[in-house]
Amino acid sequence: MSGGNFTVAVDLSTPNASVDSITLVRRPGPVESVRITAPDLREAQKKRSSIRAGFEERGTGGRVDVLLDVVVHIAADARTARREAVGGQRGDTVVYVGTPSGLASLILDIRAADVADGVTVVPAVAEGSARDSCVQLLLGDVLPILEARGLAPDATVRPHAG
């Protein structure tokens, strides 16, 4: 699978956010995107198949990408991530709490297993320094790992966490 066949976005929406989300890795070409939640990867894969089948039945001639929401909190070590993310867990979607390299591995596994056409990373911690640190690690640590594994960052977006 080539690097351009997967999308990675981060949902930055908060009550005080100036932007809703930013796309870090973008699939090329015109595409309609649909975000989904699922309690596990198997259910996500089923939802993706169903959505794609419905899209093909409509015969619009375009392409639909199904992006799986993954609720995330990362820190330099897993223990810190777990402590900071207390209360950020959800049962209705995939959750990852751990390290940047673990998150990168999960994203790459979702890609390799053809679970979804991309992921939307949703920070588990709504605001504050723990959320800011998570976003910094996403941009500074996870993105380079993904790039090294063939998911080149979107050339039009130069993410800077603030």
Q: What is the pLDDT of residue 58?
A: 77
Radius of gyration of the CA atoms of the chain, in A: 15
Q: Taking all residues of the chain, what is their mean pLDDT, rounded to a whole number?
A: 82
Residues 6+ apart with CB under 8 A from 151: 3, 6, 8, 25, 107, 108, 111
Contact 138, 75 (CB under 8 A): no
pLDDT digits (tens, 9 = 90+) for 13-66: 755 554 455 666 666 666 788 999 999 999 999 999 999 888 888 776 667 889
Across-strand partners of 71? 95, 122
For residue 161, the model assigns a pLDDT of 42
Burial 94-119 (b: 16+ CB within 10 A, else e): bbbbbbbebbbbbbbebbeeebbbbb
Please give the pLDDT value at position 129. Answer: 83
> How far, in Å, CA of 23 to CA of 128, rounded?
22
Average pLDDT over residues 76-95: 82
- pLDDT, one tens digit per residue, over 119-137 is 999 888 877 788 888 888 9
- Which parts of 46-155 are beta strand (E)? 64-74, 94-98, 118-123
Question: In this structure, what token pair is assigned to residue 92?
Answer: 């209705």
d(CA 156, CA 150): 17
Question: Nearest 5°: phi and psi at 158?
Answer: -115, 90
